[in-house]
Amino acid sequence: MHNQWLAFYVSSHGFGHMTRCLAIIEEFLETTDHLIYLASGTYQNSFARFYLKRFGDRIVFKDLCTEVGLVNKQNSLQVDIPQLKQELNDFMAGWDMAVTEEVAFLSDLPVACVISDISVIGIQVGERLGVRNIGISNFTWCEQYEFLGLSETIIARFREVYAKLDLLIEYDLMLPTHDLDVPRKQVGFICRRFDSDRIADIKKKYGPSIFITCGKSANLDTIEVDNYEGTIFATSGINITATANATVVHLPVETFDTNNYLAASDIIIAKAGWGTISEALLSKRHLVLIEREGVLEDTENIEELKRRGVAVSIKESDLARIDMQAITDLIAANITRENLDAYHNAMGDIIREL
């Protein structure tokens, strides 16, 4: 695939899909002559443009609603099912037009393959172009929507699109998929590269720290942190209050290396999205996951990681007041360092498949 285009269609739901795809894109741009077409939501692409700016005109960005995903209730991590149904119906009504426009543009480029995480728009584009059509994810929306009790009409349309894949690359923690007969390849965890010098600088500047994130799409009321005297890093959408001896550092949404702040922290408190889990495991951090009732991915991820002895969990209601002494005791009783040491970056496996 010398000097050809790779077209990435990345979910416009949250930021985890984008950050893990950025790790793959960065590897391709640094080790090959390929050019990249990157389609995702405006919010996600604004971050990607900044993160990849050193690669200049080797990337073409397209701001596009590639997915609805889940829709949360206001000031909550719980899913708003009526609103989700409405947005999905509106989204599906526009599939054909969006795919037609994408195919018209990409037909003039030597596209070698389309890689979707896990956008139904991208998969349909790949099929229409007649190029290698690859999905890469830790779930499909079929399982998520079945769990939420959405109509079979919606689920069947998603399942029909996923069946067009030539290959589904399954990350570790992949949710079981039903009635999807496509070739598969299982791989481990990946994340953006850690910068050891940058991590050391963060530790020197801020001292002992914890990292709290509910995803960059979150918008929660105040989280109170008690019994902690270090630095608290918080991502956008979270309002943190803490005891007098703690320092709260809010990381702006445009902070392109949140992974380094995470790796510099002693404890990570996070929504159980795959991207944050991967960064925490690969940096060998202590991971505290927030339970969200009604979200299949989160529930399955939490139960499996607790079974492996690499994470603990708290309820969303516990965010009102986080007692760090209780968190420390919970970690000491349930997380085993040797289990964390078993995880390594699987980027090489993914690049070979692509």
pLDDT in tens, 272-297: 999 999 999 999 999 999 998 778 88
β-bridge partners, 269? 212, 288
Lowest mean pLDDT segment, chosen from 24-28, 77-81, 192-196 = 77-81
**Is residue 150 a contact partner of residue 187, using CB atoms and an 8 Å limit?**
no
pLDDT above 60: residue 202:
yes
Distance CA 70, CA 85 (A): 10
pLDDT in tens, 2-19: 579 999 999 998 888 999
Q: What angle do CA 59, 259, 77 make, to 5 degrees?
A: 100
- The confidence band for 217, taking pLDDT boundaries of 50, 70 and 90, is very low
pLDDT above 50: residue 85:
yes
Burial of 74 (0-12, 13-18, 19+ CB in 10 A): exposed
Distance CA 94, CA 281 (A): 38
